[in-house]
Every structure is written in C-alpha cells, then in structure tokens.
C-alpha cells in the first residue's frame, strides 16, 4: 500500500528537476549571447572613429600638397611680374609680391583653404633683391591649419623660396662684327639661341592630370612621355611644357629648369643654330 502511495511522486520530482536545469541552461545561453553582442559593439565603437580619423588625415595631406603646389605656381607668376617691374623701378616691393601671389591663387580660394588667415595669411616680407646684380630671392611664408584641433597643436609653418633675375638685359658697346654678337646657350644644350625669350629657353609649364596625358600633344604635335629623372611611379598631378616631350611629377625636376649663359657667338663653336630663333 505504501509503495503505491509514494511511487507516483518520483517521476513528478524528476520532471521538475529537468525543468529547472533547462531554465538555467537557457539563461546561461542568453547571458553568453548578450556578452558576444556587447563585445562586437565595443569593437565597432573603437574601429569606426579610427577609420574616419585615417580618412580625414589622408584628405588633409592631399589638401596640403594642393596648397603647396598652388603657392609654388603663384610664386613663379609673382617672380615673372617682379622681374619685369624691376626694369623700371630698380627695387623689389614685398607688398606687390604678396598681391601677385594672392591674385595667382585666387582670393576666394585662399579664404576657403586651410591657410591660416586666408588671403591675409601670406607673408612675403622677407623677399629681397640686389640692386647691383639684379638677382633677387622671393620668400613666401604661410601657416596651415590643423583640421581637428587636438592636444593644442599649432598651425604648421610653411615656406617657399625662389631665385629670380631682373630683366635688365645687356648693353652693346658700339658696333661689333658677327663674331662678337651675343647668343644664349644652356648647360647641356647642343644649339645656341639668338633670342633670349625663345620658346625652347622660356618654358611654359602647365599642370594637368595623369589620366589626360595620353590625349595631350605639344606644339609640334608630338606625344608626352615620362621623364627619366622624376617619374618613378604613378602620380596624380603632372607638369608639361608646350614644346617639350616629357611629363614630370615634380616642379624641381632638372628637366623643367634651364641654366642659360650669354656668350659671344665665337665661343659657340661646335653648336648649331636654333631652328626657331637662330636663322
């Protein structure tokens, strides 16, 4: 009789214990699942800001390169204007150099750029020219703002320097024969030039994009090929001249520079006459 009374209670206790164990395992699974979700959320929260910081840094470096190129090109324009003006005034005015630089870049563009102070942030007060030799140095100083002001970092100071020569020309002393006529030669050139402003001597440098160089032609109708000195890889921005047949990745490349010497034609023995100005 006792066995019949207590025997039904045994399976009942067993089912209750199974429910308790199932409930506990379900809670543990939910707890581990929530922990995994939380760890993924923390990793995403740490990775996304670092990604955006890397993108901002890359864009900032590209903008710095664009500003550097623009200031360099504008200083070349200011140098030509100064060399022309000093023929009359016999002096260099830094304020005029600053105005020419701002004009070449564009006042509106400078106000929207990362140059601290915009158009008023360009300082050319250190520009000088020798009255005796006519050789001058143009100096453009400016500061570049940091896009995200962290840890009190100050603007980065930048400076561009360029040498110029006043267009003072030369004087002929009386009448001279052909052997004393002055001609112009370059350091490694094979011909001499009678005109100092010959297009082969006075390079007209243009800036363009690498993707368009295959469609461009020089004044002679020829294609442009990579420079052997400065084109070591792919470049986004390149520089070409109207009469050259090479494109360059740097304005400081020797292929974009001309060291010109004025000599008597009698000393140009072995050199041929330029096909454009030597006839």
Q: Which of 57-66, 110-119, 165-174, 226-235 has the lowest mean pLDDT?
A: 165-174
Residues 6+ apart with CB under 8 A from 201: 184, 186, 193, 195, 258, 260
Cβ burial of 155 (10 Å; 0-12, 13-18, 19+) is middle
Mean pLDDT for 254-279 is 82
- H helical segments located in 1-134: 2-6, 9-89, 94-105, 107-112
What pLDDT sits at residue 210?
86
What pLDDT sits at residue 44?
65
Residue-averaged pLDDT of the chain: 78
Mean pLDDT for 82-92 is 79
What pLDDT sits at residue 270?
81
Q: Which of 116-125, 152-161, 198-207, 220-229 has the lowest mean pLDDT?
A: 198-207
């Amino acid at each position: 009789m006792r066995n019949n009374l207590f025997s039904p209670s045994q399976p009942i206790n067993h089912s209750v214990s199974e429910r308790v164990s199932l409930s506990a395992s379900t809670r543990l699974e939910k707890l581990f699942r929530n922990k995994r979700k939380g760890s993924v959320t923390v990793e995403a929260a740490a990775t996304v800001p670092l990604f955006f910081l890397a993108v901002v840094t890359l864009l900032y470096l590209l903008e710095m390169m664009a500003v550097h190129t623009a200031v360099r090109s504008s200083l070349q324009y200011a140098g030509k204007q100064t060399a022309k003006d000093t023929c009359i005034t016999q002096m260099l005015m830094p304020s005029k150099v600053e105005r020419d630089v701002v004009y070449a870049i564009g006042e509106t563009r400078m106000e929207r750029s990362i140059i601290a102070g915009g158009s008023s942030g360009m300082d050319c007060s250190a520009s000088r020219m020798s009255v005796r030799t006519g050789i001058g140095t143009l100096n453009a100083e400016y500061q570049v703002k940091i896009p995200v002001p962290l840890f009190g970092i100050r603007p980065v100071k930048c400076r561009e320097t360029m040498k110029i020569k006043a267009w003072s020309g030369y004087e002929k002393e009386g009448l001279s024969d052909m052997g004393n006529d002055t001609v112009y030669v370059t350091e490694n050139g094979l011909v001499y030039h009678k005109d100092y402003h010959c297009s082969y001597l006075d390079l007209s440098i243009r800036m363009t994009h690498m993707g368009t160089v295959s469609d461009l032609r020089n004044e002679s109708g020829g294609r442009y090929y990579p420079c052997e000195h400065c084109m070591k890889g792919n470049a986004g921005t390149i520089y070409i001249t109207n009469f050259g047949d090479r494109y360059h990745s740097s304005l400081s490349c020797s292929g974009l520079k001309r060291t010109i010497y004025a000599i008597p034609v009698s000393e140009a023995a072995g050199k041929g006459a330029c096909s454009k100005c030597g006839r």
